[in-house]
Structure 1
Amino acid sequence: MSENYNKIRLTLIYTLILNLLVVIGKLTVGLISNSLSMISDSLHSLLDASSNIIGLIGIRIAKRKPDEGHPYGHSKYTSLAALLIAVLLVITAFEVFQGAITRFMTPVAPEITVINWIVMSATIGLNVFISRFERHQGLKYNSNILIADSMHTNTDIYLSLSVIASFILIYLGYPLFDPVFSIVIGIVIFYTGFSIIKKISSELTDSLVIDSRLIKEIVANIKGVKDVHKIRSRGSTAECFVDLHITVDRSLSVEAGHDISIQVEDYLKKAFPFIKDVTVHIEPYVKNVSKRDEFDVK
């Protein structure tokens, strides 16, 4: 897991450098041409860079080993970092809305130049690369923060396309479309932030990670297991903890029961490599006695 964290860290450093280049290009041209859409887009790109820094901090803490105060480790700090990125996105969306309203009240026609087109086209290509690279690495290393950051970066592609659309309409004599497209940018940013918050919240509130029916199917086929119940899983697809109850023949020795529990753990970890730990509670099998409760899969 530590090696994965190092790979994720390097990915965030690479994307941070690229995002800073995008910010400098967009902001410079936006200020020169007085384009609110481009300035708004550059601020969003700056947030991309800020989110990379937040991610680096989260990864640094998450790679710490379990200690007395955190026996399950520190992996949820990556989820907290992703949640913070989402909150910043929502805040930025409202700032973009505010800027658009101001431009409606005091309209100023931005200057459209060849440089605007060149910068926007270049940044779109760069953002496509960044988004795909982050998503690929995120799926490869089961990193929620890289996937969240790729979703964040992916909005830049659509936002930049909306800026180009506003340039075309302004060139055709419709300057008020600049703040209109800024509002569109704000809506996209808000929706992305809300989507990330919804996803990360399920991890932080210990929602089910693995379908209990899949776990039951695997464990029930292990020799010596009579029944499986009280199946629970929590964490994320990067690091998951599972606990369950099994019943075995009441005549088995403690050692034999323990051997079965080891098999259960091995089979589950083989089926789901992201499982970090499995806790197996062994109970004596009693015929015709149900062990089901609210956590069971029927």
Structure 2
Amino acid sequence: MSQIEKEPLTFMAVHAHPDDEVMGTGGTFVHYTAQGVRTVLVTATLGEEGEIVDPALDEQAKAAMFPRLAEVRRQELQEAVKALNIQESRLLGFRDSGMAGTDSNNHPESFHQALFNEAVKRLVALIREFKPQVLVTYDAFGGYGHPDHIQANRITNAAFDAAGEARCFPELGLPAWQPARLYYTAMPRSMMVEAMKELQKSGVPGPWDNPAMNTAIMGTPDELITTRIDVRKYVDHKMKALAAHKTQISPDSFFFTVPEAQREQMLGYEYFVLVRSAQTPHNGALEQDLLAGLG
């Protein structure tokens, strides 16, 4: 019996900020928890640099909140974790780096500026503690180029290998553990383009109204998608989790205003690309289960 088979099935996703856990993996968390799989969320930062959009707050209240925004967003994250039935939630302990090219990228405590070895070590410690068979994070562009998303990709790839090598970070005092698979979150390009066309036609305001948006290069090329998880029955969980992040997602956001059928189209499936596999290679067919063959 292999090391993988001896341990309980565990799914771990590595995200950059509070609220990132909802879109690409929120339904997947609910789905696997319902199946008895241990689910673990790792969040690198607390979103200290994000804009405050809660309409219940005036500008004075927002200014007063900003110095303690990390704690506010920690509480929002905890509420979202409950909504998604996530069993374990851990923080890597870095600071939000802000959008690319901003001064906050240079903050010495930011995730962007973190010593790479230290960031990898923190993630390796969690991998060895929880022993996930499957790791999930963003692609090399971080989905849309955010420095923290890109850093999450870099450290997760490195930790995927280092966690299984006993010579790496022996000071952690934890036995080596090699995850079986690494996936990137994804959104099929054809689906994204079609959804935006439909939303524009419906008259629902949103980012698709921006004429500078080049939908032709958005999303992941369809041929790279390896896995699709049907989470339609968990859309309400995702909506509750989005609502928990009230300083980041306004009640008039398109997530809450699109018609129900289009909301299901947007949120009812979650897509992934298999990029590393220690056991079962992808055979070309669209997978329906990230943990297939690992139980």
TM-score normalised by the chain length of structure 2: 0.24
TM-score normalised by the chain length of structure 1: 0.24
Higher relative contact order, structure no. (Cα contacts within 8 Å, ≥ 6 residues apart)? 2
Which protein is bigger by CA-based radius of gyration? Answer: 1
Could you say which structure has the higher helix fraction? 1
